[in-house]
């Protein structure tokens, strides 16, 4: 397959442009997503042109499938049996779509310690997706989520260096969104999506949280079985609050349960789904909150229907013990975990006692506070299969969410060639990392705010602009239901 110099230059120029901060959300049908990859694969597979043509012919012969007709399969009704190897195009599209919702938490978060808004979301709810240049998201954000930063997680919480700040005790950790009418028709149901923020550049939080398991009931989650345990740091982050802070005077748990209850009651006659997504530490919060919603029975409507609860997890750690896994799965919580084989985070905590050791050993270790088990179904990707990525042992690169979405785009099944299907821009991989090979001419860490966010005032002086007051908590209706 011959590639002209002009084509290479055109690609290089395109790669150097600052792309939309999260990429565009994936579409809702599989036919549109399987595209020709010649402009992306370059001459890495010159000898495979004939094979690629045959693959294109086979793909073209497949009938188009609409998500509205298959959403329950994509949501894990059959535990994604037969959809992962080979990779189902519609499922790939859905995983990337929800992965971009999680990525939006990073792109919207203010990490700058020199900003008085450090630790908050940079955008208001009504213009969130628009501000991130996410095209046609089809969701409206109904609530922001906050957690108290009084917990000893210095590598998760961010604080400003300035004395005058938006909050001394809170950090923004995600959002709740609901699909609009048009999108709900394409999805086949009204989707309540919850995206949790994780960690971006540092992995020291693993050591912060490698503590011990404790019963979920000890943190007011109404589980009748005291042997159901989760990692204590995850539980504290999910359930702690600060009465003196307007943003976290209610715990993340109270915020999420209140909003889910409100939204389910707002659409009593519609088909509904609850979809959690999160990366890294956000994945643990997604799993914990999905279990909590099912344990409390909030996903059961007034007429007795059960709203399906699903988690799309990216690079997430283990959350609880074997009994936690069994309890959550018994309640119908579906979890699909997307992991990179080279990433250390999914291997923690529980280095020695986990789901990979013999069953008899796990039974003997069941009472230990360091015996963990993953929940749900795993989709393992491998960065070494992508011709775009550097051969590096950098753990931050292996853990990066944009890298996971890139790997999803090119994954077709075990033993299959890496061929970009949706053709997400590979430049997004280097948005907050140095992972793309240098000959693609995409600078590392290219996503930056212009002038560090400073603007000129009317007098010509540089200053940090004021932001609109962030949403805090709660109205009278929510206050009455916060102890649900």
Tell me the mean pLDDT in the region 420-438: 95
Look up residue 30 and give its two tokens.
């599989």
Q: How many residues does the chain have?
A: 484
Domain ranges across the chain: 66-381+449-481
Of residues 59 and 113, more confidently modeled: 113
Look up residue 122 and give its two tokens.
């940079």
Please tell me the CATH superfamily of domain 66-381+449-481, with its number: Alpha/Beta hydrolase fold, catalytic domain (3.40.50.1820)
Tell me the mean pLDDT in the region 429-453: 92
> What is the per-residue pLDDT for 405?
98
Look up residue 202 and give its two tokens.
């540092």
For 158, 209, 271, 345, the CA distances from 154, given in Å and listed in that order, are 7, 11, 41, 17
382 pLDDT higher than 50: yes
User: 437 near 89, Cβ under 8 Å?
Assistant: no
Percent of the chain with pLDDT over 70: 77
Q: Is residue 343 flagged as an active site residue?
A: yes
Identified catalytic residue from 70, 169, 374, 399: 399
Q: Is the dihedral of CA 450, 452, 455, 460 positive or negative?
A: negative
Q: Is residue 399 flagged as an active site residue?
A: yes
80 pLDDT higher than 70: yes
Which residue bears the tokens 């999805």?
187
Asked if the bond preceding 86 is cis, omega within 30° of 0, the reply is yes
> pTM (2 decimals)?
0.85
Identified catalytic residue from 107, 242, 343, 425: 343
Give the model's confidence band at 454: pLDDT under 50 very low, under 70 low, under 90 confident, else very high: confident
Look up residue 57 and give its two tokens.
């012919």
Of 73-87, 285-299, 450-464, which gets the smallest average pLDDT? Answer: 450-464
474 pLDDT higher than 60: no
> What is the per-residue pLDDT for 39?
46
User: CA–CA separation, 318 vs 375, rounded Å?
Assistant: 8
Of 311-325, 342-356, 377-391, which gets the smallest average pLDDT? Answer: 342-356
Look up residue 235 and give its two tokens.
């539980």
473 pLDDT higher than 70: no
pLDDT, tens only, 245-297: 888 899 999 999 999 999 999 999 999 999 999 999 999 999 999 999 999 99
Tell me the mean pLDDT in the region 57-82: 80
User: CA–CA separation, 84 vs 65, rounded Å?
Assistant: 17
Of 72-86, 149-163, 176-190, 253-267, which gets the smallest average pLDDT? Answer: 149-163
145 pLDDT higher than 80: yes
Q: Is residue 406 flagged as an active site residue?
A: no
Identified catalytic residue from 167, 184, 280, 371: 280
Tell me the mean pLDDT in the region 300-325: 95
User: 273 near 243, Cβ under 8 Å?
Assistant: no
């Amino acid at each position: 397959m011959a590639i002209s110099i002009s084509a290479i230059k055109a690609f290089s120029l395109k790669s150097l442009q600052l792309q939309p901060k999260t990429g565009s959300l994936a579409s809702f049908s599989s036919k549109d997503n399987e595209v020709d990859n010649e402009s992306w694969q370059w001459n890495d597979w010159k000898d495979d042109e004939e094979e690629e043509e045959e693959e294109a012919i086979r793909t073209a012969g497949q009938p188009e499938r609409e998500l509205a007709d298959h959403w329950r399969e994509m949501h894990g009704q059959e535990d994604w049996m037969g959809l992962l190897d080979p990779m189902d195009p519609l499922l790939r599209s859905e995983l990337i779509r929800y992965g971009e919702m999680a990525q939006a938490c990073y792109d919207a978060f203010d990490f700058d310690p020199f900003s008085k808004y450090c630790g908050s979301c940079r955008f208001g709810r009504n213009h969130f997706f628009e501000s991130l240049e996410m095209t046609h998201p089809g969701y409206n954000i109904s609530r922001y989520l906050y957690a108290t930063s009084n917990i000893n997680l210095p590598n998760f919480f961010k604080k400003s260096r300035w004395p005058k700040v938006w909050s001394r005790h809170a950090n923004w950790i995600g959002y709740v969104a609901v699909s609009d009418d048009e999108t709900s028709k394409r999805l086949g149901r009204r989707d309540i999506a919850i995206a949790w923020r994780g960690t971006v550049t540092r992995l020291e939080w693993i050591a912060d949280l490698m503590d011990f398991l404790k019963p979920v009931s000890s943190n007011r989650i109404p589980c009748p079985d005291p042997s159901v345990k989760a990692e204590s740091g995850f539980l504290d982050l999910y359930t702690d609050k600060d009465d003196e802070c307007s943003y976290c005077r209610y715990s993340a748990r109270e915020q999420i349960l209140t909003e889910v209850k409100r939204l389910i009651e707002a659409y009593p006659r519609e088909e509904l789904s609850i979809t959690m997504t999160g990366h890294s530490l956000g994945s643990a919060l997604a799993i914990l909150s999905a279990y909590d919603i099912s344990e409390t029975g909030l996903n059961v409507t007034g007429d007795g229907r059960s709203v399906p609860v699903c988690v799309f997890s990216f690079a997430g750690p283990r959350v609880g013990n074997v009994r936690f896994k069994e309890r959550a799965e018994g309640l119908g919580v579906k979890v699909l975990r997307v992991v990179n084989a080279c990433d250390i985070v999914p291997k923690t905590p529980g280095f020695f006692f986990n789901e990979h050791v013999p069953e008899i050993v796990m039974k003997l270790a069941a009472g230990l506070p360091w015996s963990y088990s993953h929940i749900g179904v795993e989709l393992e990707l491998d960065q070494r299969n992508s011709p775009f990525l550097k051969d590096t042992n950098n753990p931050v690169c292996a853990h990066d969410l944009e890298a996971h979405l890139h790997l999803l785009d090119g994954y077709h099944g075990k033993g299959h060639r890496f061929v970009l299907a949706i053709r997400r821009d590979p430049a997004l991989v280097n948005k907050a990392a140095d992972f793309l090979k240098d000959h693609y001419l995409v600078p590392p860490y290219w996503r930056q705010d212009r002038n560090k966010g400073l603007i000129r005032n009317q007098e010509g002086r540089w200053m940090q602009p004021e932001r609109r007051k962030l949403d805090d908590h709660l109205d009278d209706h929510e206050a009455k239901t916060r102890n649900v």
